[in-house]
Chain A
Amino acid sequence: MNKSVFLGTLSAAALAAGLAGAATLDDVKARGELICGVNVGLTGFGAPDANGNYQGFDVAICKAVAAAVLGDASKVKYVPTTGETRFTALASGEVDLLVRNSTWTFSRDNDLKFDFVAVNYYDGQGFMVKKDLGVTSAKELDGATVCIQTGTTTELNLADFFKANNMTYTPVNIADDAEGQRQYLAGACDTYTTDASGLAASRATMPDAENHIILPEIISKEPLGPLVRHGDSQWGDIVRWTYFALVAAEEYGVTSANVAEVAASSTNPEVKRILGTEGELGAMLGLDKDWGMRAIAAVGNYGEIFEANIGSATPIGLSRGLNALWTQGGLQYAPPFR
């Protein structure tokens, strides 16, 4: 008897969980606040500034979604997540959306029951070496000592790469990026390997940046993007199309500065549909018609976000590379808004 009551309670709780999870949009609207899981601190992508306000390339997605859904980019509660806690935080409903430079992989998508809704940054693992080592290609790193973060996919990629090229290496295990940079500068390893964006940021802050080069080989695919829970397609669509609105805005030259003007004057029907002056796209998402305009006005288009946080004008100085628009040889591509 007791047992069946207990099981009944459990299944009722599970049912309630399913129901509660099915309407993230309603939860967010009722709460008046978007809860966004972000990185505890990753240069350029997401970190609080000296005043405690979160800034960064990933954080901008949170702000854009909040602007689209709630009409105010500041109505976001940021939940800092570590590599260990991030997926639990999303699965348990602690956050509505996770934008934390997480790589889209098969098992995360299917086994962990998440939906990666877009790729906001195409990254890949690279190597940094000192110039006077005389190495110009990762294929010449046979026998090198390599500073590598333990317990990450980068460690596995590294092993695969060296095995595939019949080379050997000695790993120097490090715990985090700060330690890696320090060990590498102190000469404990010949090369430091992590995501290329991270290497660029580290190199930018070194006292003698000109003496270090990032080798041209990128040995892994790291498509980083925002993700939501399985089973709430409406919410996934809102995040996905908010992101695509930012990419499309760059393609059509809509910026945070000129968005109001473009909305009034543009004759391009697709732009008009994105900005809500024509058609009913917002209603199909369960939002009002100005959602796209608000998102762009709040954070700017994809190119603006990139340049403001990690682009060539910032100290990090990443080039667009794979993250250029498809019209400029990159992979950023928004499906048609119609």
Chain B
Amino acid sequence: MPKQLTYVRGEMLAPKEPPLREAGVVKWLRENLFSGPLNTILTLLGLLATAWLLLHLVPWLMHSVWNAGSLGECRQIIAATWGEGATGACWAVVRERWPQYIFGFYPQDFALIARLSFADQYAAAGGYEGVFGAAVNGAVREAFIADLRANAGLFDLYVLGYWRPILAFVLMFVAIAPVLFTALPRKMIWFSLLYPALAFWLLWGGTVWLPVVALLGFAVMGAVFTLLKDQLGVPVSAGLGLVAAVLWWLFAQAPVTAGLQSALPFGLASVDSDQFGGFLLSIVIGVTAISASLPMGILLALGRRSDMLLVRTLSVGFIEFIRGVPLITLLFTASLLLQYFLPPGNNFDIILRVIILVTFFAAAYIAEVIRGGLAALPRGQYEAADALGLDYWQAQRLVVMPQALKISIPGIVSSFIGLFKDTTLVAFVGLMDPLKGITAVVRADIDWKGIYWEPYIFAGTLFFIICFGMSRYSMWLERKLKTDHR
């Protein structure tokens, strides 16, 4: 048998290394950073700018001081540690003033701290009436509080002291969870509906009966609606229900609240709106305006596409007027103009005024975003809903809105993010927003006068965390709702 000649190689050769310039980091650099003269120049300029920034920023951050009583002390410490002429960040201002950045001038609950952690001294000083009673001279109270402040621990001062805003904040997540995550039990939505009243009571205090009686107004509305629905139809009975509720709030609210309070007195110490500040204020305004502006925006968007002349004209007029006016103008209207129209002494709350106008502002933008979503739906969807025999509201609820809202998610969320950041504009009407208001207060202290970047960086970081969180949630929601198999 002749020896067989091998014509074909039996095994593969090992692949050779690609040429150096066509592989790895070098290839990536050549393709992405140095692909031509223009890109090369831009890359070099970018590198220079980054280097310059880092050269200034890194030492400044490396020389940070956290423990100091004043800006001057910060400078001394930096000069002593890093030599004359060194610059450094003075985070001591954040360490000393963070409660104001978070809670503004919200009063700490010293009565609670005293009762829980300093029971003996509290009893010796005469208990609540002896320290916090109305008849007690301010000097006595201030001395007791100063003593308590000096001796209390961090948990006492900040967690117990601010238990009301902290509890309201934690419960906020419980309340929005069923809205954000559909996997949760649907019954939780009842808590979400009760939450605004609960949060109002926790934050502003006062008698518990005020929010309870206000909620009863909704019960009145529901009762009228259910009783009359069969005889008068949905729109008329809903309108009558609303009228009944408004009558309840106007005429029954005050006497019923007063009566219940005198029969069963129960409440928290009341807190004035001007004591709100910092992120507490931003979140109160932002969250309220966000949750109120979405339904309002949906109604406005539907109104704008309505066939009814009056509804359409009113919606278009509202949207175009509000969008045509800067937010600052609306805020000034809230704070200055309304005061002239109301009789003196009839002060309705500045935060409430601001919330209402910020809500209007956001609703006008949301309405346009949602109208974009509605316009993107193919006409067949509307016709299919009609063909199924659904009435207008059923069609909107079951067919149109779920699709339109899904399309609008990025726009809606960026409106919300913009709205949340816009809450800092309330500084111009004398409210203590975290960026300008509280920073102005901090800088007015001679210890911190002249500090510039640190408060801004601190407030900016917190804003970034919150806004980035919202943005991530919206991306998650978009992926979850994605059904188009594109």
Residues of chain A at the chain B interface (Cβ within 8 Å): 13, 16-17, 20-21, 27, 32, 39-44, 46-53, 72-75, 77-82, 84-85, 88-89, 92-94, 176-178, 181-182, 201-202, 204-207, 314-316
Whether a CB of chain A sits under 8 angstroms from the CB of B437 is: yes
Query: How would residues 96 to 110 of chain B score, 1 for a CB under 8 Å from any chain A CB and 0 otherwise?
Result: 110010000101000
Q: Is B274 a contact partner of A80 (Cβ separation < 8 A)?
A: yes
How many Å from the CB of A294 to the closest CB on chain B? 11
The verdict on A82 contacting B138 (CB below 8 Å), with A17-B343, A178-B452 known, is no
Of A46, A75, A205, most B-chain CB atoms within 10 Å: A205
Chain B residue with Cβ nearest A32: B134
Could you say which of B72, B142, B428 contacts A82, with CB atoms under 8 Å apart?
A: B428
What are 24 A-B pairs at a CB distance below 8 A?
A: A16-B344, A17-B343, A17-B344, A27-B345, A39-B444, A41-B442, A48-B441, A50-B97, A50-B100, A50-B445, A72-B138, A74-B142, A80-B274, A81-B430, A82-B428, A85-B430, A88-B340, A93-B345, A178-B443, A178-B452, A202-B450, A205-B71, A205-B72, A205-B446
B450 contacts which chain A residues (CB < 8 A)?
A: 178, 181, 202, 205-206
Chain A residue with Cβ nearest B451: A178
Q: Is B139 a contact partner of A207 (Cβ separation < 8 A)?
A: no
The verdict on A73 contacting B138 (CB below 8 Å), with A41-B440, A80-B432 known, is yes
CA distance A42 to B139 in the complex (A): 25
Q: How large is the interface on B (under 10, 10 to 19, 20 to 34, 35 or more residues)?
A: 35 or more
Chain A residue with Cβ nearest B105: A52
B345 contacts which chain A residues (CB < 8 A)?
A: 20, 27, 93
CA distance A206 to B449 in the complex (A): 9
Within 8 A of A (CB), among B433-476: 437, 439-447, 449-450, 452
B449 contacts which chain A residues (CB < 8 A)?
A: 43, 181, 201-202, 204-205
Whether a CB of chain A sits under 8 angstroms from the CB of B272 is: yes
Whether a CB of chain A sits under 8 angstroms from the CB of B335 is: yes
The verdict on A47 contacting B75 (CB below 8 Å), with A94-B347, A178-B452 known, is no
- Sample of 20 further A-B pairs with CB below 8 A, known A17-B343, A47-B441, A72-B138: A27-B345, A32-B134, A40-B430, A40-B432, A40-B437, A40-B441, A48-B105, A50-B97, A50-B100, A52-B100, A72-B137, A74-B137, A77-B274, A79-B430, A81-B430, A84-B332, A85-B430, A178-B440, A204-B446, A315-B72
A93 contacts which chain B residues (CB < 8 A)?
A: 344-345
B137 contacts which chain A residues (CB < 8 A)?
A: 72, 74
Q: Which 4 A-B pairs have the closest CB atoms?
A: A74-B138, A41-B444, A47-B444, A93-B344
Whether a CB of chain A sits under 8 angstroms from the CB of B193 is: no
How many Å from the CB of B181 to the closest CB on chain A? 37
A84 contacts which chain B residues (CB < 8 A)?
A: 332, 336, 428-429
Q: Is A16 a contact partner of B343 (Cβ separation < 8 A)?
A: yes
A206 contacts which chain B residues (CB < 8 A)?
A: 450
The verdict on A20 contacting B274 (CB below 8 Å), with A82-B428, A202-B449 known, is no
Chain A residue with Cβ nearest B141: A74
CA distance A39 to B339 in the complex (A): 20
Q: Is B71 a contact partner of A41 (Cβ separation < 8 A)?
A: no
B429 contacts which chain A residues (CB < 8 A)?
A: 82, 84-85
CA distance A174 to B272 in the complex (A): 33
CA distance A177 to B335 in the complex (A): 24
B447 contacts which chain A residues (CB < 8 A)?
A: 315
Q: Is B335 a contact partner of A85 (Cβ separation < 8 A)?
A: yes
Q: Is B138 a contact partner of A80 (Cβ separation < 8 A)?
A: no
Chain A residue with Cβ nearest B137: A72
Residues of chain B at the chain A interface (Cβ within 8 Å): 71-72, 75, 96-97, 100, 105, 107, 134, 137-139, 141-142, 149, 272, 274-275, 332, 335-336, 339-340, 343-345, 347, 428-430, 432, 437, 439-447, 449-450, 452
Q: Is A75 a contact partner of B138 (Cβ separation < 8 A)?
A: yes
A205 contacts which chain B residues (CB < 8 A)?
A: 71-72, 446, 449-450
CA distance A314 to B447 in the complex (A): 11
Could you say which of B72, B75, B336, B443 contacts A85, with CB atoms under 8 Å apart?
A: B336
CA distance A172 to B296 in the complex (A): 44
Q: Is B446 a contact partner of A316 (Cβ separation < 8 A)?
A: yes
Chain B residue with Cβ nearest A297: B139
B272 contacts which chain A residues (CB < 8 A)?
A: 77
Q: Is A207 a contact partner of B138 (Cβ separation < 8 A)?
A: no
Of A20, A50, A79, most B-chain CB atoms within 10 Å: A50
CA distance A77 to B273 in the complex (A): 12
How many Å from the CB of B198 to the closest CB on chain A? 25
CA distance A78 to B277 in the complex (A): 14
Chain B residue with Cβ nearest A310: B446
Q: Is A13 a contact partner of B428 (Cβ separation < 8 A)?
A: no
A182 contacts which chain B residues (CB < 8 A)?
A: 452
A202 contacts which chain B residues (CB < 8 A)?
A: 449-450
Chain B residue with Cβ nearest A72: B138
CA distance A40 to B427 in the complex (A): 10
Chain A residue with Cβ nearest B149: A51
Q: Is B339 a contact partner of A315 (Cβ separation < 8 A)?
A: no
Of B107, B347, B444, B452, most A-chain CB atoms within 10 Å: B444
Q: Is B445 a contact partner of A49 (Cβ separation < 8 A)?
A: yes
A75 contacts which chain B residues (CB < 8 A)?
A: 138
CA distance A88 to B345 in the complex (A): 14
CA distance A182 to B454 in the complex (A): 13
B97 contacts which chain A residues (CB < 8 A)?
A: 50
B339 contacts which chain A residues (CB < 8 A)?
A: 88-89, 92, 94
How many Å from the CB of A5 to the closest CB on chain B? 16
How many Å from the CB of A39 to the closest CB on chain B? 8
Q: Is B441 a contact partner of A201 (Cβ separation < 8 A)?
A: no
Chain A residue with Cβ nearest B453: A182
B138 contacts which chain A residues (CB < 8 A)?
A: 72-75
Chain A residue with Cβ nearest B338: A92
B446 contacts which chain A residues (CB < 8 A)?
A: 43-44, 201, 204-205, 314-316
CA distance A30 to B443 in the complex (A): 36
CA distance A89 to B137 in the complex (A): 28
A176 contacts which chain B residues (CB < 8 A)?
A: 440
B430 contacts which chain A residues (CB < 8 A)?
A: 40, 79-82, 85, 89
Q: Is B440 a contact partner of A79 (Cβ separation < 8 A)?
A: no
Could you say which of A20, A46, A85 contacts B344, with CB atoms under 8 Å apart?
A: A20
The verdict on A42 contacting B336 (CB below 8 Å), with A50-B97, A181-B450 known, is no
B452 contacts which chain A residues (CB < 8 A)?
A: 178, 182
CA distance A92 to B348 in the complex (A): 12
CA distance A190 to B105 in the complex (A): 38
Q: Is B96 a contact partner of A50 (Cβ separation < 8 A)?
A: yes
CA distance A206 to B130 in the complex (A): 45
Q: Is A40 a contact partner of B428 (Cβ separation < 8 A)?
A: no
Q: Is A88 a contact partner of B336 (Cβ separation < 8 A)?
A: yes
B439 contacts which chain A residues (CB < 8 A)?
A: 178
A39 contacts which chain B residues (CB < 8 A)?
A: 444
